[in-house]
Structure 1
Amino acid sequence: MTDRILVLIKPDGVERRLVGEILRRIEAKGYNVTALKTVVPTPELLAEHYAEHVDRPFYPGLVEYMTRGPVVAALVEGHRVVQGVRSLMGATDPTTAAPGSIRGDLARDQGGEAMENLVHGSDGQASAEREIAIWFPELG
């Protein structure tokens, strides 16, 4: 059985023209990008995606960051893809992310309200399926 994960290349990744490099790293690991689209997220879409964070103090800054420009959403498939892609992404904080990881090599803390760390990846198979349904409803 093939596992699936949602990968979002956040506005800073799109702005810095790192979409190709990030997807290249995922494909070089042997995973398959099976759906891809550019989305300008709305606050409503983000409220659904980040439902568990809506009442947190950092949430308004996160919405401001994620709505400032387009996001590239990718559906990625492969054996143990959640663990593999999350390893490729590196630690959430780019300052401490290991060299060789996407965040460790390409991101840095900008000192803003939201952590600009280039990418999001689902943290488990259940969350992946929930997030894929939000970002790719046409795949229902």
Structure 2
Amino acid sequence: MWSLVLALFSYLFKDKRPSWFERTLVILKPDGLQRALSGEVLSRFEQRGLQLVAAKLIRPSAAHLKQHYWELRDKPFFTNLVTFMSSGPIIAMVWQGTDAVAIGRAIIGATDPMDALPGTIRGDLCITVGRCEEGPKEYWELIGKRNKFSCLTNSRFRNVVHGSDSVESAKHEIDLWFKPAELVMWERCCHDWVFESPSS
């Protein structure tokens, strides 16, 4: 009985994408969600031919974010980054398609919005730049704790979105944010018009 259930589960949730497809994790950060940019961000990925296979609106814990940004743990901005990313809800998404990681990075643009080209998400939509620092004491007394994320020096990690920077990172990040059953396998009617098999 259990073997039949497991076989059915495996069939329903098995990876049916072509072998040349990639997946990438994209996160709409708290600033992007607060500024109502979710529709704009999704539209840009769809317009480039990528396919959404998973999405969730969550407010991540600091512990979860520390796992996600583990490679940055020795950076001076690590604590502020985790604090900011856990300050409000985010939308975590998985997109798939040919060269999804590279295309995703091209759509998003350079990490620092000042370096991001026009036409990219960060080049068009970001407002603030620079790393978030503590700032002068008088500044915090003026704005109060409620607006602590409106740093005097602004913040380079308030750049609307996060995107995986390599195929390996994408796999690790997707496994961290999603269970296999949360990845929805579906095929668009325009699939053959958008993608071409490398062997054809």
**2:112–2:130 Cα contact (<8 Å) kept:** no
Match of 2:159 among 112, 117, 121: 117
Structural mapping, 1:84-123, within 5 Å: 84-109=103-128, 113=132, 114-115=155-156, 116-123=158-165
Please list every run of 5 or more consecutive structure 2 residues that lacks an aligned counterpart in the other structure: 1-18, 133-154, 183-200
Match of 2:170 among 123, 128, 132: 128
Q: Structure 1 CA distance, aligned partners of 2:110 and 2:131? A: 18
Counterpart AA for 2:161? V
Q: Percent identity?
A: 43
Higher relative CO (CA 8 A, sep ≥ 6), structure 1 or 2? 1
Structure 1 segments of 4+ aligned residues over 2 angstroms from their partners: 137-140
Structural mapping, 1:37-116, within 5 Å: 37-109=56-128, 113=132, 114-115=155-156, 116=158
TM-superposition CA deviations, 1:7-34 (whole Å, max 9, x none): 0000000000001100000000000011
1:137 aligns with 2:156: no
Larger radius of gyration: 2
Q: Which residue of 2 aligns with 1:20?
A: 39
Aligned residues: CA RMSD: 1.4
Counterpart AA for 1:129? K
TM-superposition CA deviations, 1:24-65 (whole Å, max 9, x none): 000000000110101101111011101111222101110111
* TM superposition score normalised by structure 2: 0.67
Q: Structure 2 CA distance, aligned partners of 1:16 and 1:60? A: 23
Counterpart AA for 1:14? L
Report how far residue 108 of structure 1 moved. Answer: 2.1
**1:33–1:74 Cα contact (<8 Å) kept:** yes
Q: Secondary structure at the match of 1:27?
A: helix
Report the structure, 1 or 2, having the larger strand content. Answer: 1
Q: Structure 2 CA distance, aligned partners of 1:84 and 1:76? A: 10
Q: Structure 1 CA distance, aligned partners of 2:115 and 2:71? A: 25
Q: Structure 1 CA distance, aligned partners of 2:181 and 2:58? A: 15
Q: Structure 2 CA distance, aligned partners of 1:11 and 1:110? A: 15
